[in-house]
Amino acid sequence: MVITFDNVSFKYIEKKILDRASFSITDSDKIGIVGLNGTGKTTILKLILGEEIPESGEIIKSGGMIINYLPQEPTFKKNMNIIDLIMEASSDEHKIEEYEVKSILSKLGLKDYTRTTQNMSGGEIKRLALAKALITYSDYLILDEPTNHLDVPIIMFLEKYLMKYKKGLIMVTHDRYFLQRVCNKILELDFAKTYLYDANYERFLELKEERLKLESFQKRKLENFLKREREWINRSAEARSTKQKGRINRYNELSKIEFNERENFAFSSIDTRLGKKLIEIKNGSKSFDKILFTNLNFNLKRTDIIGVSGLNGSGKSTFFKILLGISELDSGEITRGTTLNIGYLPQELSIMDPETRVIDYIEDIKKEIKTVDGQMSASAFLESFLFDKTQQYSKIKTLSGGEKRRLQIISMLIENPNILILDEPTNDLDLYSLELLEDYILNFKGPVLTVSHDRYFLDKICNKLLIFKNKKITESNMMYSEYLSEFGLEDDAEKEILTQIPKRKDKLPTSIRNEINKLGEEIPKIEEEIKNIKELLSKETTDYEKIISLTNTLNNLNSELDTKSTRYLELLEIKEQYN
């Protein structure tokens, strides 16, 4: 199965997204698409799916190709059972078994199979959509930001799953460890051009640097040549004669060549006064439907860059709200210094008027920003965070999700805070913006606390960890990836299903293998029986005794199916430990 872009060009309003893009990918490729927010990564996915049409050129796909797509923000019908929703994708040709659905849902943290889509959070809907995309047959799997809003254990499961995946994979993600471990090719979008690298993420960085150096050399060489030709044209009257027209035409054509270069921006915070006491908690406890933490002693220091980690619902955002004074401790004591100017970035995008221009949104907060190099205008500040002059005068509604997130970060930083509290700052940010944010944090003159599921980000910036686990908050000086490798993030509740698992041996016991095979044969047969009885019940309307008998049989089969499905999932967990 092959997908080919042949000289494809595409514009969104007046913005050029693709300029004569040509590349081919096969179903043995695992492609990671990278580029700045707003450069058209999602547009490429939609062009492949046929949801967008090229302005010129052609997209050629092998006949009969089946594609599964996970959008950034999936939606489903209201009040639909999660298993029934996924089973909709089952067909005679590519049958999905119910026990397979339960297995993948369990892996993605959706263990209550009776739930409906009615009151599911955005993160749960994303996991449900991911489960459906993974289990439904396809030749190509297309994922748009699959790791956003996922717990780290689920990200690591997905990473391992996709590493073993045998079909074509195309994804947009800014998780650099994920790109490194899963992808064998990187497709970069830069100034409407596409560059396909036969490399993982680390090798891509090396090859990109080589490309930029070569382009810089070619640019200097062309500039020197054009300078000599221009001097020749200016001094020689003969140059304008018919005899020399070929040379002039060549000069004119070469003058049209453009080399796009991205400036290396850097911005550092000013050094604002911080007292000796910042934020201190003594014997703090907090419950919210359940115990989040007890007996917490915490003292924030000026040099701290703290990564806050734990499963969703473990209390990280509540902890931030306590530090900010938005929520209170149930017991214990918190004291805050008098010189604090906290910059807080919430997980949700702030409400912005979509009709407001970018420059107006920032100037309404501050027109002049103090920096280490002196005063900077709002426009210059925006430019240092990758909003060029054209974009600054665009309306907010034209921005991508990542660009809106970047704008939200800017609106916080221009207040010159001396403490940063960041809740998932990396969500939706492109790789270049991530590097800007990382450099800013590493040069920040005060303490930083950040929640993030981005392992690369936490490894790079943090000198300390706060781990929310088992209703406690523990401190660690390890790198985040080291901590995960040694201890993991699962709490006791997550480990319940593993209590029966023996210690790993070299080989899975024959008795377990036989039981897995037996249940794998029995469960589909029971499901088929249930289906047949439901059909009989739907047709029977007058024979009351038969209806009672069929109903009893159906109840017994459902009970048997639940028991065997639960056991089957337990055995698959055991098998995985051996694998």
Domain ranges of the chain: 2-66+138-204, 279-490, 510-578
Position 513 scores a pLDDT of 80
> Do 2-66+138-204 and 510-578 share a fold?
no
CA distance linking residue 186 with residue 41, whole number of Å? 12
Do residues 403 and 38 lie in contact, with contact meaning Cβ atoms separated by under 8 Å? yes
pLDDT in tens, 234-284: 665 554 555 466 666 666 666 665 556 555 545 555 666 677 789 999 999
Position 116 scores a pLDDT of 92
Write 369-378 long-range contacts (CB < 8 A, 24+).
Answer: 369/414, 369/416, 370/270, 370/416, 371/267, 371/268, 371/270, 372/268, 372/269, 372/270, 372/271, 378/414
Position 25 scores a pLDDT of 94
Give 299-316 as a 3 state SS string.
ECCCCCEEEEEECCCCCH
Position 272 scores a pLDDT of 63
Strand order in the sheet with 472-476: 342-345, 419-423, 448-451, 305-310, 464-469, 472-476
Give the CATH number of domain 2-66+138-204; options: 3.30.930.10, 3.65.10.10, 3.10.20.600, 3.40.50.300.
Answer: 3.40.50.300
- Residue ranges of the chain with per-residue pLDDT less than 70: 219, 222-223, 225-226, 228-273, 372, 490-507, 576-579
Give the CATH number of domain 279-490; options: 3.40.50.300, 3.20.20.80, 3.90.740.10, 3.30.450.20.
Answer: 3.40.50.300
17: Cα separation from own chain's centroid:
21
354: Cα separation from own chain's centroid:
24
Do residues 298 and 447 lie in contact, with contact meaning Cβ atoms separated by under 8 Å? no
- Which amino acid, 391? Q
| Residue 325 backbone dihedrals phi, psi, to 5 degrees | 85, 10
| Residue 150 backbone dihedrals phi, psi, to 5 degrees | -95, 145
CA distance linking residue 365 with residue 344, whole number of Å? 15
CA distance linking residue 454 with residue 465, whole number of Å? 14
Going by DSSP bridges, is the β-strand pair 448-451/305-310 parallel, antiparallel, or unpaired? Answer: parallel
CA distance linking residue 115 with residue 103, whole number of Å? 15
Position 271 scores a pLDDT of 62
pLDDT in tens, 525-557: 988 888 888 888 877 777 777 878 888 888 888
- Which amino acid, 66? I
